[in-house]
Structure 1
Amino acid sequence: MNKINYLMFNTKYFSIQGRFGKSKSITTSSERIGGDTKVYKGRCYKRNIDLAIKIMDKNGQNEREAKFFPNLDHENIVKVLEVGDFPGIIPQIFIAMELCPWNLSDYIKNNECLPSDLQKSFNFSKQLVTAVVYLHEKHIVHRDLKPWNILISRCGEKIKVTDMGLSRTVDIGKTATTVTHILAGTNGFKAPETYQPNATYHYSSDIFPLGINIYFIFSGGKHPFGDDPCLWVGNIKMNKRTNLTKIRTIKSMKKSQLVTLLKNMLKKDGGSRPTAKEVLQNEFFLGPFASDDDNYPANKSNLKKSGAEFVGKSI
């Protein structure tokens, strides 16, 4: 694994310059790119690549993310170059990782082509499932799968799962994490059982939000439990008002397969949901994919420029 060796950090938030690591080749700017998190644009001049540098308080949850990330090696999970202690008065951690210019939500909002480019929607969905299969095979439950934690590579062709802060390992031979007092996940993107006090998180608890995200992709940004975010939690808990009618045009056979698959993934009873591997092996993801308009051209020029687009090579 390549090591991050030097960081010049000077932002309106910290005003700190410090060295850590070994190769002395990394810099950051004050350009914040992570929304609510402290993620900044960075660059490794030795490798001539752009980076995202995440600065976090040093606590159990963030140390867990720093522990999980470097050990993961999959094309559909954000690649981490290095993690370490960030120098300063307040104990902090940094994670330096590949820079992805969009999250799934922003990508769909800014890409007029995606709702009609069903082959890409299919590819994104399959890649997302593949990433979850990989995590589960590593005995990791993500626990916070949502469009904002699903990034799109610079080439616009790859899904990249990120934000492992709420992830937990599952003891070999078991199917659930230990009981925790930490409220994991994001309202509207959590399985029904996770709203219970002292909930345990099963592998199946990832399958429910995985289904929500697949529907999000194929519907052009819609939610299967309604258009009003205020109603999502209640509808999920009661398993009512599920609406899978906004899937974009797919040939009738494939659409029927997708709807059936999503219904199984969104079952209230976690024990009745398919595993991630069973989702990947479902007939919907096997064989060629075709839409009603197979000749629809993928117009990459429709991807609107975002402030998150940067010059440089990707990892």
Structure 2
Amino acid sequence: MTLKIIANKYEILAELGRGGMGRVYKVRHRELNKIYALKLLREHLVEDDNQVARFHSEARIMANLRQDHIVQVFDIDRAGDQHFFVMEYIEGKTLADLIKEQAPLPVADVLSISRQIAQALAYAHQQQPMIIHRDIKPSNIMIESGSGRVVVTDFGIAKLLDADSTRQTLSGLAVGTPSYAAPEQLGTTDDLDGRADIFSLGLVMYEMLAGRPFFENLTPQQIIGKKLYDTQEFTPTFDTFVAAPLQR
């Protein structure tokens, strides 16, 4: 059955994207006549208490963040077995789409985009307790049309660090996207802090400048092995358009 109305309030206009946990729709509030983005938990996960808790945790984390470069959450609700939260709708494209269409990006654009992402991360990391995104990658970054505002989205695997500790127990579970995750996210260490997000941002910056991921044509297992056990070196064949600004 195709969904048309959610919670008798939100009319679905279009599907914006989907992932393992949920689908994101462009919706119209029927009474307010305002456009939002709505993330709906996938039907097969509603009986999984852990997944439902994770979904609501993402919504609560985002709802408590008020920063220009972090997507804003306005409502968290459920209607029957439909779990959803409502966010600001951003007219634009993902950074992944921008890279695919225009990369390599001009250095000035890379710096502007990176600065705005860094501002979002700095704000999240300054919260008490600290919020670590853990999945910074081009597809989780939106570029707003017209204004060029950069917005960090998808806090689905974000974690809160206890205010009195710099440790987050991960029980040996690798989280994040291997191509962008910091090594400490991929091993069995319990040490994890905001530097993991900064590592991911560095890889995103590389991709904007080079027009390709730092790790390409490798399986997730190969990427994890390289990050955990290999030493990465920049050779003289490193792209000149990236190397030149670094040498200034």
Interval containing the TM-score (normalised by the shorter chain): 0.7 to 0.9
Residue aligning to 1:155: 146
One-letter amino acid of the counterpart of residue 157, structure 2: L
Which has more radius of gyration? 1
Residue aligning to 2:49: none
Residue aligning to 1:19: 8
TM-score w.r.t. the length of structure 2 is 0.80
Structure 1: tracts of 5 or more residues without a match:
1-10, 21-25, 258-315
Task: Tell me how far 1:136 sits from its aligned partner.
Answer: 0.4
Q: State the structure with bigger RCO (CA 8 A, min sep 6), 1 or 2.
A: 1
Alignment of 1:126-275 (within 5 A): 126-138=115-127, 139-155=130-146, 157-180=148-171, 183-197=174-188, 199-220=190-211, 222-224=212-214, 226-230=215-219, 231-243=222-234, 245-246=238-239, 248=241, 252=244, 254-256=245-247
Q: 2:16 aligns with which of 33, 38, 41?
A: 33
SS in 2 for 1:208: helix
Stretch moving more, 179-188 or 52-61: 179-188
Distance 1:207 1:247 in 2: 24
Write out per-residue CA displacement over residues 7-51 of structure 1, whole angstroms, 9 at most, x where no aligned residue: xxxx72x4555336xxxxx4322x211143411111347766532
Residue aligning to 1:292: none
Task: Tell me how far 1:118 sits from its aligned partner.
Answer: 2.5
Task: Tell me how far 1:197 sits from its aligned partner.
Answer: 3.1
Residue aligning to 1:119: 108
Residues paired across the two proteins, number: 232
Contact 2:167 2:190 in 1 (8 A): no
One-letter amino acid of the counterpart of residue 53, structure 1: L
Residue aligning to 1:55: 40
Contact 2:166 2:191 in 1 (8 A): no
Distance 2:16 2:33 in 1: 19
Write out per-residue CA displacement over residues 181-200 of structure 1, whole angstroms, 9 at most, x where no aligned residue: 65421121111122223644
Q: 1:181–1:116: structure 2 CA closer, same or farther, 3 Å change rule?
A: closer
Contact 1:151 1:160 in 2 (8 A): yes
Distance 1:162 1:126 in 2: 16
Q: 1:45–1:218: structure 2 CA closer, same or farther, 3 Å change rule?
A: farther
Stretch moving more, 167-176 or 192-201: 192-201
Contact 2:5 2:12 in 1 (8 A): no
Write out per-residue CA displacement over residues 219-245 of structure 1, whole angstroms, 9 at most, x where no aligned residue: 23x222x43232432221224345582
Higher strand proportion, which one? Answer: 2
Stretch moving more, 173-182 or 149-158: 173-182
SS in 1 for 2:224: helix
Distance 2:66 2:85 in 1: 19
Residue aligning to 2:99: 108
SS in 2 for 1:43: strand
**Identity rate of aligned residues, in percent?**
25
Q: 1:64 aligns with which of 43, 57, 61?
A: 57
Contact 2:73 2:85 in 1 (8 A): no
Aligned-pair Cα RMSD in Å: 2.7
Task: Tell me how far 1:104 sits from its aligned partner.
Answer: 1.0
